[in-house]
Amino acid sequence: MNNSVQVLVVGGGLVGASLALALAHQGQRVALVASAATLATCAPIEPTWDQRIYAVSPGNAAFLGGLGVWSRVDAARVQAVAAMAIWGDAQSHLGFAAEAAGLRELAWIVESRALQAALAAEIAATPELTVLADARPVTLDLTLSPAVLRLDSGEQWSADLVVGADGGQSWVREAAAIPLKSNDYQQLGVVANFAISAQHGAVARQWFRPDGVLALLPLPGQRVSMVWSTPIAHANALLALSPEDLANAVQAASLGTVGVLESLSPAVGFPLSLQQAQSLVAPGLALVGDAAHRVHPLAGQGVNLGFRDVRELVAVLAARPPLQSCGDYPLLQRYARARLEDIASIAWGGDALQKLFATQAPLLASVRNQGLRMVEHMPSMKRWLMQRVIA
Ligand SMILES: Cc1cc2nc3c(=O)[nH]c(=O)nc-3n(C[C@H](O)[C@H](O)[C@H](O)COP(=O)(O)OP(=O)(O)OC[C@H]3O[C@@H](n4cnc5c(N)ncnc54)[C@H](O)[C@@H]3O)c2cc1C
């Protein structure tokens, strides 16, 4: 059977699900290829806290609010970030406060599964959006217009635009033969949650250490979520520790800033890499989210970049003349051009910072700490950095 839509989104993670919803709300005929597990609407259960958490920018929270998704997340499980504190490895310090910039918050900390469940609930309440659950794509023909995607269920779908939102190992990107520039950091992001004896004060804290970048992000109540981006051998050593020993190690590495730590969840490690698709678009095709780019988590911007891809693509499609196809190449190039600078600055900025702090060379150690001190005393630079983080 041959079915037809305007846009076919492959991948129902946070980025793909939000894109499919936004386009359906816009009145486009959309289908979403996603696993049933991803689209389960189950709510998170206390007292467990998901180790995968995101610092969602105010701009993206507003976008999710407009989709009816943000209000579906239990507010008691969301934490505003009022300030960020960053330490170098030689007592250098850099701080950002929302209030100083006339903002209410710099970011919102939210659990991955809570956000995914909220998206799933909104999708379930949007009958105009066709969900192709548990079908895997097997072939994609972009030489035809509209493009044709065949699923392992035997179904065949034609679409003016196929969007790859299927993550870092994107099948769509490969099927479209879009080359990928990739650099494996040889690091894992070790994530775990802790109860703390002190108040976190809604501050997101980050330490650039000789063994990597340690971040403690505030969760509601006296809890924090850790992301320790560190070389694989050290990451494996952390993952092998007992919960008590891990809590002690993190407490020591964070200089006791948030008091005594107690493990709330087992630690999990995620491999880290820098990836960039050589093109975000082809005729009849676009990439969004990790399918298009993967960045170091030190800036907490991965999924934020993905949501900003979605906002741009949705805006470009909405602004097209009525008879122009969603898959029109010059139209899609407009999306790719608009996303270039944001993606490049987050990807390469994070990469440069990571490299600068990973080196043990004394000259560079001095440069990086001087650099942090300099930025601390440059209000215009701080404002510029903050604008990027909150978008
Ligand atoms: C340790 C760590 C901490 C991070 N912290 C932050 C943070 O604080 N803030 C932030 O903004 N970002 C953060 N990130 C980055 C963030 O996790 C990613 O950028 C984000 O999850 C990407 O979302 P996505 O929807 O593009 O891809 P994914 O989450 O990878 O989703 C892709 C979806 O596509 C599906 N899929 C894959 N292949 C197929 C196929 N062939 N057919 C159909 N479906 C398919 C998958 O099942 C999945 O559901 C962090 C990353 C790491 C590793």
Whether ligand 1 lies within 6 angstroms of the CB of 290 is answered as yes
Q: What is the pLDDT of residues 347-381, one digit of tens each?
A: 988 888 777 777 776 666 677 777 777 777 777 77
pLDDT of residue 92: 76
Structure tokens at 211: 């063994």
Q: DSSP labels for 232-289?
A: HHHHHHHHHS-HHHHHHHHHHHTTTTT--EEE-S--EEEEEEEEEES-SEETTEEE-G
How far apart, in whole angstroms, are the C-alpha atoms of residue 293 and residue 162? Answer: 17
Ligand 1 center–CA 16 separation, angstroms: 10
Would you say the CB of residue 119 lies under 6 angstroms from ligand 1?
no
Q: What is the pLDDT of residue 1?
A: 55
Task: State in Å: Cα 283 to ligand 1 middle.
Answer: 25
SS3 190: strand
Closest to 157 in 3D by CA, of 30, 325, 3: 3
Give residue 71 CA to ligand 1 midpoint distance, Å.
Answer: 22
Low-confidence ranges of the chain (pLDDT < 70): 1, 42-47, 90, 361-365
Which residue's CA lies nearest to atom 52 of ligand 1? 297
The answer, yes or no, to whether any atom of ligand 1 lies below 6 A from the CB of 301, is yes
Nearest CA to ligand 1 atom 31: 13
Instruction: Confirm if 157 and 5 have CB atoms less than 8 A apart.
Output: yes
Q: How far apart are CA 260 and CA 77, in angstroms?
A: 22
User: Ligand 1 centre from 299 Cα, in Å?
Assistant: 15
What 3-state class would DSSP assign to 38? coil
CA of 166 relative to ligand 1 center, distance in Å: 8
Q: What distance in angstroms lies between residue 152's CA and the mean position of ligand 1's atoms?
A: 23
H-run or E-run covering 55: strand 53-56
DSSP 163-187: EE-S-TT-HHHHHTT--EEEEEEEE
For atom 14 of ligand 1, which residue has the closest CA?
Answer: 302
The answer to whether 277 touches 173, Cβ cutoff 8 Å, is yes
State residue 44's pLDDT score: 62
**Cβ–ligand 1 contact at 275 (below 6 Å):** no
- Report which DSSP code applies to 42: P
Q: What pLDDT, on the 0 to 100 scale, is given for residue 389?
A: 76
Ligand 1 close to Cβ of residue 133 (< 6 A): no
**Domains plus CATH for the chain?**
2-70+113-182+274-354 (3.50.50.60), 75-111+185-272+359-390 (3.30.9.10)
Ligand 1 neighbourhood includes 41 CB (under 6 angstroms): no
* Cα 344 to Cα 23, 337, 341, distances in angstroms: 26, 11, 5
Global confidence as pTM: 0.94
C-alpha torsion sign, points 242, 243, 249, 250: positive
Q: Confirm or reject: Cβ of 164 under 6 Å from ligand 1.
A: no
